[in-house]
Structure 1
């Protein structure tokens, strides 16, 4: 597909260590031991395994408890991916060249799609991250007490913490490379575009969670059952509506910051700050409420999410530790190998938030389903079950 190798993409690919002109076809499989470095297959395995297990869990949840929320979330996140990503990968084909240009290039992994543009792990990371964040918030009973919107805000906040641990490390380990002079990416927060830090780490999962809970989750909580056809069309609508939300939610920054990178950066940061403050207040109040009023605690616990969130954090800690020597040896934000470094302090903060959120799900009291007569069906499974 050399006719779609723009000069910018070809340059990014070369710096990542592969040739755009020789990058496979619709699907390409490579030797995992022959990738750019050992961290690529480790990341790929962790994310793909987690996504597969999340899908298995979602299917079991539907079959055993009649709750399709996790399954709709999984496929809704995947639908969102296929709406958002192709125009980014092939701006010339989709007519977005003038506005988007070439924003970045992924490195090649064991399994790639679309001529080296879309690694399998990127397909997997959307539903995995969404499941981890959504279920942590649901286990804390936030949707049940505070409603769809504030619950979605909390999902965006939790997702941001998990995602930025990964996002701040990727450029240094050559998982991908950003186009530094692309206006859509500006301004940068160390090695990561601030729009990515805000939109893809916080606002898109917020939009997805809002749509999932509005179209399916709240109805399941009220005891409603959906047919297969109803779930299919709602999942499609969720993917499309969540995509619209990604354009709507950052409008203050994209509209009022059009003429200035500084203004745009300030507005992006302000949106993230507001989301974070609201989410922290809601999550802390809800956790404190459940500790003080055990009788109001939900009877729902997702053991898979609790355990795999810790696995993910453990793997990412290992990858970060492996990157620290080059990080500390970097000069002017660039390692000796010429790779940009992310923000270590911000990552530490995200690790702390993610760990606290996971630990919180273990510390809230749980009511037995027998004593949970007014609880929604989605929250009536015994603790420790799927």
Structure 2
């Protein structure tokens, strides 16, 4: 146990030191010489202060990501080897004999502890966003969102864990297959209800006040065969200065949504380009492809989780303090393996997403026929979010679901 704890902490500290060096000293963030003076050069649309802030903010944000993700793994591992997970289970069993009740008590302890331990990263991220004027959210509102997020995640996780443990008790060999079969309708259900039930828990959605703009957007939607009667705006300016818009949901629950920051900060041609881009995702059925790929990946993932859990219990059952896979104390191990696998596959997922975003850009250009507005849109997105135009390779690999601003503007310049 002492070896596991010591080596895990040392590995985390070494990884954190490497990422700090890589982000702040190992890479410059400068654009290639051939792009100097072009519309992709941030020096042409940012002043010296904005350039400095974008470098500082981006690096800090990236570092927080690369520190928080393995920190989650470290916490889950320590919960196992220090016997905390086992004690949570024993405490739940002492309260009730009902399996559902035990799962609820255990998951409350587990989720509360992991949330508290992860809180410093979230708080630092919030404070950094505030200091760089990205976030405009009050502390009270931030805490409210944190609490809402906790209970939404707790309810979903409790349901998943309860069903999962029931399946494991029924079949230790094929539980992963049954879990995958049940995850398919569950994933579709969450995708369907998110726009109308989950999203409104965090923000207020109202019909777009600018009816002239709404009519233009709906006209574009009609050309794209999107069944929409309204365009919604959401009051994000109370929380952030960042820009966004999206088309979400499936079937009758599809929604076209604009952040009010986008409405307030961009000109109409830029807004129309963004909406054309978002409509492309609907036209190309990227939501459906995303759900389908998740279903396929979850099949492979659950199979690998089952094999890895069994292998680790065979070799390190005593060190991990897990009596059997049927025990609730095995939940952190399942979460740990799932998180590591998800991180490992994220570069491939991000690559596919970047291809979809490139296709959406092409669709938007074809629909709006306004390259200048598109270039200005990406320049404004970079300025308002203080994002690097040319991020480091590891950042792009693990974080970028969209092409970089440099790539997007370079593509548009080539279309002129």
TM beyond 0.5: no
More helix by share: 2
TM-score normalised per structure 1: 0.29
Q: Which structure is larger by alpha-carbon Rg, 1 or 2?
A: 2
